Amino acid sequence: MKCSINVDESIYNALLSSVGREGLDSKFEELLLGAIETKLENYTRQILKFEEKHGLSFTAFERLWESEVPEKKYSYDVESDFIDWEMLEGEKADLLKLIADCKGHKRG
pLDDT in tens, the chain (108 residues): 677 888 899 988 888 888 888 878 888 888 889 999 999 999 999 999 999 999 999 999 998 888 876 666 778 888 899 999 999 999 999 999 999 988 886 665
- Within 13 Å of residue 75, how many CA atoms lie on the same side as its CB? 8
Q: How many distinct structural domains can be found in the chain?
A: 1
Q: Is residue 62 part of a domain?
A: yes
Q: Is residue 4 part of a domain?
A: no
Q: Is residue 14 part of a domain?
A: no
Q: Is residue 37 part of a domain?
A: yes
What residues make up the domain containing 69? Answer: 24-107
Give yes or no for a contact between 6 and 62, defined as CB atoms under 8 angstroms apart: no
Q: Is residue 29 part of a domain?
A: yes
**Model pTM score:** 0.78
Q: Is residue 15 part of a domain?
A: no
Q: Is residue 58 part of a domain?
A: yes
- Within 13 Å of residue 1, how many CA atoms lie on the same side as its CB? 1
